[in-house]
Amino acid sequence: MAEKSCNSRRSGPAVLASLGLALACPLADAEPPRARPLSLKEAVQLVLQQNPERLIAGLALSQQKEEQAIARSALLPQVSLRWEEDVRSFNQQTITELPHPIRIGPFQTIKAGPSVSVDLSLARLRQYRASRQDVQTATNQETATREEVTARVVTEYLLVLRAIADRDAAVARVDLAQRLFDQARQLQQTGVGTDIDALRAQVELQNEKQRLIDATTQRNTAIYALGATLALPRGEDPSPTDTMEFYQVPEFSQENLVREALQNRPEVKALLSAESAAAERVKAAGDQRWPSLQLSGFYEYQARQLNDGIGGYGFSYAFSLPLWTSGRIGAEEQRARLELDRIGQSRRDLENTVERQVKTALDQSGAARESVAVAELGLTLARQEVERATRRFAAGVATNIEVVTAQNSLARADDNRIQALYRFNQARADLARSVGNAEDVYGH
């Protein structure tokens, strides 16, 4: 019956009668995922190529560049070529005092030629300068998105490395527990050990196997999350080639790092350029009170027929000075000032946040370095404890309670070391992100 259900599942969609039946069906048609080896650098480069957030930020930058081109075009001459052909007929009675209507015409006129116009105003110049700052803002925002995406994929990569290390440690503890269980059973058979010693060792073995199952699940889950962030094709899972390592890093000055972060963070740069753009718009709103100059001219070939005509031309200039706008200019200027104040407040708040992030990351980095040293020593001592407890139990001078206790100490020491290495590498990534050079550190 189970085979029949499995066959129906392969042939098309079907509703399974029970969970047990579903578990009994092997996924014979499912292909195992292909492993794609990736270093941390390769993972960062890959996510920067195809991450949707990064692509959207790039499109926003391109759009802002087009806005700048539109603002610039308003300051440049506008040239057009026109062709006009007109046929008209008039009633002479409408312009003279005749008793009866008299038709005049029809008359045909042809005009063709170029025309040019220029609109010069200080407000338009300010708007163009503001658009240049908008492009710089979009550029910095795109860089900030790249930094954020880089920091995210580095964190997920480190989570995968930690999960792999947890599973490797769990495998080693299962092997150790299996050897100790075999030893306890042999000692029981020779009469040196007791059945409670063998039972206790078997319980510890089962506990370690359960931890291995959990560690395997956590590793697979972390790999799936990293694959989703990298937008890998279906059927591919990332296979990290790097490992968590400890290495000496130079001592950093907190003051210098804060200063560097305030200079390098693209988020701060984006708000600075946005603030400059807002200041230009405040000036542009106020400059509407000043006169503006419009220049225009044309040259046309004018004729009643194409083979009978002469050139005609015209040009004009005009000054325009607003005298009363019913409060529009003042309201626009005040609105621009409010936007400038809002951006300035956001910048100051971000600078405080950046300073706090740098200080936090720096403190965590120092604590992580000390934790690694402590964890390494604790792991060495735990291994020595297991060895000595095993020898004492084999010699019959102690029960395997000491062995089980040593096993638990070793498990904690393994976890402490893995967690310390993870915190160290994550603190380094957080420090790079807080300073604003995560992509330089991990992507180049």
- What would the 3-class secondary structure string for 283-326 be? HHHHHCCCCEEEEEEEEEEEEEECCEEEEEEEEEEEEECCCCCC
The dihedral sign for the CA sequence 35, 36, 40, 44: negative
Asked if pLDDT for residue 404 goes beyond 90, the answer is no
Asked if pLDDT for residue 11 goes beyond 60, the answer is no
- Where residue 311 falls among pLDDT bands split at 50, 70, 90? confident
Percent of the chain topping pLDDT 70: 93
- Where residue 180 falls among pLDDT bands split at 50, 70, 90? confident
Asked if pLDDT for residue 346 goes beyond 90, the answer is yes
pLDDT score of 270: 93
Give the tokens for residue 149: 């995406």
**377-389 mean pLDDT:** 89
| CA-to-CA separations, 297 to 115, 118, 315, in angstroms, rounded | 6, 9, 4
In this structure, of 28-42, 67-81, 427-441, the range with the lowest mean pLDDT score is 28-42
- Where residue 25 falls among pLDDT bands split at 50, 70, 90? very low
**312-337 mean pLDDT:** 86
- Asked if domains 36-76+122-288+330-442 and 81-120+291-324 share a fold, the reply is no
pLDDT score of 288: 86
pLDDT score of 319: 82
**249-275 mean pLDDT:** 89
Percent of the chain topping pLDDT 90: 39
**415-426 mean pLDDT:** 92
Asked if pLDDT for residue 8 goes beyond 90, the answer is no
Give the tokens for residue 144: 């900030």
CATH label, 81-120+291-324, candidates 2.60.120, 1.10.150, 1.10.1790, 2.20.200: 2.20.200
Give the tokens for residue 101: 């209507």
User: Distance (Å, rounded) from C-alpha 344 to C-alpha 276?
Assistant: 10
Asked if pLDDT for residue 179 goes beyond 60, the answer is yes
- Where residue 152 falls among pLDDT bands split at 50, 70, 90? very high
Asked if pLDDT for residue 4 goes beyond 70, the answer is no
pLDDT score of 184: 85
C-beta of residue 283 within 8 angstroms of C-beta of residue 128: no
Asked if pLDDT for residue 96 goes beyond 80, the answer is no
User: Distance (Å, rounded) from C-alpha 198 to C-alpha 19?
Assistant: 36
**324-331 mean pLDDT:** 86
Give the tokens for residue 13: 């969609």
pLDDT score of 83: 83
| Topology of the domain covering 36-76+122-288+330-442 | Outer membrane efflux proteins (OEP) (1.20.1600)
pLDDT score of 397: 73
Give the tokens for residue 98: 């005749």
Q: What's the whole-model pTM score?
A: 0.76
User: Distance (Å, rounded) from C-alpha 197 to C-alpha 394?
Assistant: 11
In this structure, of 55-59, 102-106, 167-171, 284-288, the range with the lowest mean pLDDT score is 102-106
Map out the domains of the chain as residue ranges.
1-30, 36-76+122-288+330-442, 81-120+291-324
